[in-house]
Structure 1
Amino acid sequence: MTFTQNFTIVGDSLALTAIVAVIPILYFFWALAIKRMKGHIAGLTTLALAILLAIIAFKMPAAMTFMSATQGAVYGIIPIGWIIVTSVFLYKLSVKSGQFEIIRNSVQSITEDRRLQALLIAFSFGAFLEGAAGFGAPVAISAALLVGLGFNPLYAAGICLLANTAPVAFGAIGIPITAMAGPVGIDAMEISKMVGRQLPFISVFIPLYLVIIMAGFKRSLEVMPAILVSGLSFAIAQYLSSNFLGPELPDILSALISLFALTIFLKFWKPKTIFRFKGEAEIAAASAVKNERIENVHYTAGQVFKAWSPFLVLTAFISFWGIPAIKSALTGHYEGTNVILKGVNSIGHLLTYAPEVPFLHNKILNDAGTAIAAVYKLELLGAAGTAILIACFITKYITGLSWSDWSKTFSETLNELKLPILTIGSVVAFAYVANAAGMTHALGMIIAKTGSLFPFFSPFLGWLGVFITGSDTSANLLFGNLQKISAMQVGMDPLLAVAANSSGGVTGKMISPQSIAVACAAVGLAGKESELLRFTLKHSFFLVILVGILTFLQSNVLSWMIP
């Protein structure tokens, strides 16, 4: 038995089909933002609703529907859930060993200003992690660091989600763009150039936007020199690398340049006043003597290096894991002649599994009549979470923790994250059901029918795709061809439309159910997903509108910007 996706199955109307398809999304927003359900309850009930609609309204066989949900749930656990567990575990090891006190002191030695700490860690360091690893690692690690520095958990999670907007399109060594190039038939370098002529405008704006959210416009002006150094250095590097080097390195290069530029700048420039969150200033004043003693604590360069070593090791391993040839070897797909990589490839092959999903593999036909493969993708060695786990093993020896403390901390981490992992599994399962039944594509086709306004709405397709799937890569694969075909029909440059899908998609990352669950898990806010969604939702809408306006202008008066 096969199932052919039908986008006019409700009343033979695309509009009616899209209305039915949007019901689970509206329900999820209602459940979290208005009803304020806990994340795992909202996720599970949204999944249940999507399954019912897929079976009843979209006529998808029940067996296929349930198996598509299992495929998504497995992907939610590996690699996404695995990254969260290991990232939070690494942070907890740093705290358990007492090394995080030294990390806190070293960051405060650069600046005690919360605005500038957010730029250093959430924006620059988070972008580096996005470029090297992607998935949930940037938000999980940078948010945990901010909480350790004393940030309110909700603010830490929200700020890191917002900051992660700038680098997502070039995340994980440029995979969102390189993966889309083949299916849409446009060279990856050309897509990279076009995205690199859109995102830098967002990248230069994000640092200012972050600080305004944190402290208000007036307090933002106090640190405008630092904001400009952070944003401009990142945006310029992003433009140059994406247009002259390709899609693989913009995040890593831009992040490092921004991080070092701001750190060096802060050695010579300080804000007139130190900004702390409400209540912190009073605590500091009441504990002036204690604070003075703390400020007089000076750690040696060796102590600071040791404290940061777990995160340096983490950075090295996830960067190493992201190199294409090594990634291929770790997943058992290496075809080169390097002896060492061939040996790694043998191990990677043994630890990589891709069993077909029963009742689903090649059983669903898309609108072109092509069968859609469905496998459980289990890359145990190649997963970024495994790289982080190795860093956790090395951290045990760096910090001198006993195996008992190490194991106890890992057990505590698993116990704390059981509900967040359930949330992630359920929302990814929902995404897979929506894709398999044709719900997501029906919604995309409605947006594609906006005629002369399509250049403005084009980024909204990417935004929708990332909201549902949680991945810019998935959104590009999902809507890339639809963007290209729709653009040709309305006289828009297909390259601009394809790039807009990726650029618009980055603004949906902060409200994706997966991202919300990851961020809450990282900062200990399991069950508070509704509060975080309410925090990020308006910012997501605002930023995607900006990308829509820019794309519309580039299709008309700024068409000279298209390569």
Structure 2
Amino acid sequence: MYQQVLDPVAHSLAWSSVVAALPLLLLFVLLGLVRLTAWVAALVSLALALLVAVAVYGMPAGQALLAGTEGAAFGFFPILWIVVNAIWVFEMTVETGHFDVLRRSFARVSDDRRIQAIIIAFSFGALLEALAGFGTPVAVTSVMLIALGFQPLRAAVLALSANTAPVAFGAMATPIITLGKVTGIPSDTLGAMAGRQTPVLAVFVPLALVVIADGPRGLRETWPVALTCGLVFAVAQYATSNFVSVPLSDVVASLLSAAAVVALVRVTGSRPAPAGPAVIAGGAADEPTAEFTGGVTRPDSRAEVIRAYAPYAIIVAVFVVCQIPPVRSLLDRATSIVRWPGLHLLGVKGEPLSPASFTLNLLTTPGTQMLAAGLLTMLALRRTPARAVRAYGATLHRLRWAIVTVMAVLALAFVMNASGQTTTLGAWMAGAGDVFALLSPIVGWLGVAVTGSDTSSNSLFGALQVAAAREAGLSPTLLAAANSSGGVLGKMISPQNLAIAAAAVGLHGREGDIFRRVIGWSLAFLVALCVLSGLQASPVLSWMVP
């Protein structure tokens, strides 16, 4: 049995926070400065987290190791389970040549790859986030961008940067629903508050994407399309989360934003942006192919186009059907919650901690539903079971180092959570009083940066945000929602998602390069959200708090 402590270092929360932050700081330094391979950096940081847990926090070594094993298991199921199956689906589309058909279909919408990046990385990525989450948009859209001619590094940066504003409502609003459970605040109220924060980010994300895709020239030449996409998405996300349905917020916003872009392009037209050679989907940067010319090289039959879109239509259909209440209730019968063998944890006040419990949701997890979509895709693309199995094996081989990285990072997160290191960091920041309204999004950002999941960050810090808000006389609804909204900006720098992006585009070992490309955007958006949160806590924008 282990009971957490908040201030093990000289009974000082500040000094304890410095020590508690060391594993996380080491991870970012090894990735961003030393440029160490992600799986090695994750394992080294995990070792330091274990050392801090045992030597500083007094956690029994056996309990610390058990917490790490539970984190590794959680990293594989459900997180890697959905990523592996998602990549498998797209491996089959690449094998059959339907990825080329899809690329040509998008090229018919616009020859401008900057506009294609907006539609795929932002709008389509938001739809995948709404239906699946857990890294699926990054894995899928980065490979799609490569098929459209983007170099692997830029494709990964675009996919990660786009996977921001939609995250709070991802997986049918699972982060918001989880936040409601841990805070006792109705999820509809929290969704409405988040819907008054993340839409502000959504306005600017497509503008950032065209800058990433083509620099200042991209912004000058395509800002009307990017701004239209962001505004339509923002208005739709706000309206849906506040007046229609929180779980459907991203679904509605993604479809309307994509439709707005297509309509605007058809009215105004677009011209191809200068572009370099493309690369093979999933390949490395030194694998150029002359096939891509930026335009449509030959017409595709209607049947070919339908089959090219079939995997996406199947994914959407499967996830939508599985969200129908009677169907979800039936699938949920296969869910079981078990205590992790031998792991016994108590919080600071002596209450049992949920990290000691492991949820085995075999049928409701997006990974299993993606597997079902993959089997249907196999039939739609006329693949034999033998070839589909070979494609699955190739997917596992390609993701082998990403699997190690994600499992190590989640083990690190669980050790920090179980020992109390993460809670120490959150409690220290919560001691800022009224100023905490400015810092609140940073707590969520930190939680997602470590765990890779807005849901996990809300589980970890949601109650802390509410307690800090009440002590400081601030709105619990505002700070709880700010935890989730700030968390979406930690998604792009999470080592877990960096590993997924690197594996998807064939850049294993270059996670540090991707990290350096996205950290600036993450911090810039985080500062803006902190300012927004602070203003919403003041008389200036307090009218925005429900």
SS at match of 1:376: strand
SS at match of 2:399: helix
Q: Taking structure 1 as reference, are residues 396 and 29 closer, same or farther at Cα in structure 2, changes over 3 Å only?
A: same
Is 2:350 the partner of 1:369?
Answer: yes
Q: Taking structure 1 as reference, are residues 239 and 454 closer, same or farther at Cα in structure 2, changes over 3 Å only?
A: same
User: Which of 507, 513, 531 is residue 531 of structure 1 equivalent to?
Assistant: 513
Residue of structure 1 in register with 2:487 after alignment: 505
CA distance in 2, matches of 1:221, 1:296: 28
Query: How far 1:191 moved relative to its partner?
Result: 1.2
Query: How far 1:303 moved relative to its partner?
Result: 2.1
Query: How far 1:279 moved relative to its partner?
Result: 5.7
Q: Taking structure 1 as reference, are residues 482 and 143 closer, same or farther at Cα in structure 2, changes over 3 Å only?
A: same
Matches within 5 A, 1:442-453: 442-453=424-435
Matches within 5 A, 1:318-467: 318-332=319-333, 349=334, 352-360=335-343, 363-373=344-354, 374-467=356-449
CA distance in 2, matches of 1:547, 1:324: 34
CA distance in 2, matches of 1:431, 1:367: 18
SS at match of 2:357: coil
Residue of structure 1 in register with 2:188 after alignment: 189
Matches within 5 A, 1:52-131: 52-131=51-130
Is 2:276 the partner of 1:275?
Answer: no
Query: How far 1:243 moved relative to its partner?
Result: 0.8
Give the partner amino acid of 1:444.
Answer: G
Query: How far 1:278 moved relative to its partner?
Result: 4.4
Aligned 8 A contact 2:493 2:518 in 1: yes
Aligned 8 A contact 1:173 1:323 in 2: no
CA distance in 2, matches of 1:402, 1:354: 36
CA distance in 2, matches of 1:290, 1:426: 38
Query: How far 1:55 moved relative to its partner?
Result: 0.7
Q: Taking structure 1 as reference, are residues 289 and 515 closer, same or farther at Cα in structure 2, changes over 3 Å only?
A: closer
Residue identity (%): 40
Aligned 8 A contact 1:212 1:219 in 2: yes
CA distance in 1, matches of 2:267, 2:298: 22
CA distance in 1, matches of 2:27, 2:341: 28
Query: How far 1:380 moved relative to its partner?
Result: 2.7
Q: Which stretch of the first structure deviates more once superposed, 445-454 or 233-242? A: 445-454
After superposition, give the CA deviation of every residue in 1:191-241 in whole Å (9 maximum; x if it has no partner): 111111111111011111111222223331211221122111100101101
Q: Which stretch of the first structure deviates more once superposed, 299-308 or 322-331? A: 322-331
Unaligned runs of 5+ in 2: 279-288
Residue of structure 2 in register with 1:304 after alignment: 305
Query: How far 1:289 moved relative to its partner?
Result: 12
Query: How far 1:489 moved relative to its partner?
Result: 2.3
After superposition, give the CA deviation of every residue in 1:248-276 in whole Å (9 maximum; x if it has no partner): 111111001111221222222223x4214
Residue of structure 2 in register with 1:151 after alignment: 150
After superposition, give the CA deviation of every residue in 1:318-373 in whole Å (9 maximum; x if it has no partner): 233344543342231xxxxxxxxxxxxxxxx2xx454421221xx21112221124
The number of equivalent residue pairs is: 534
SS at match of 1:553: helix
Matches within 5 A, 1:7-22: 7-22=6-21
Residue of structure 2 in register with 1:216 after alignment: 215
After superposition, give the CA deviation of every residue in 1:411-462 in whole Å (9 maximum; x if it has no partner): 1111111111011100011000000000000000111112232111111111
CA distance in 1, matches of 2:34, 2:328: 43
Give the partner amino acid of 1:227.
Answer: A
Give the partner amino acid of 2:514.
Answer: L
Give the partner amino acid of 1:258.
Answer: S
CA distance in 2, matches of 1:290, 1:20: 51
CA distance in 2, matches of 1:553, 1:231: 22
Aligned 8 A contact 1:178 1:247 in 2: no
Residue of structure 2 in register with 1:562 after alignment: 545
Unaligned runs of 5+ in 1: 281-286, 333-348
Residue of structure 2 in register with 1:340 after alignment: none
Residue of structure 1 in register with 2:24 after alignment: 25
CA distance in 1, matches of 2:292, 2:130: 40
Aligned 8 A contact 2:149 2:277 in 1: no
Matches within 5 A, 1:164-183: 164-183=163-182
Q: Which stretch of the first structure deviates more once superposed, 60-69 or 407-416? A: 407-416
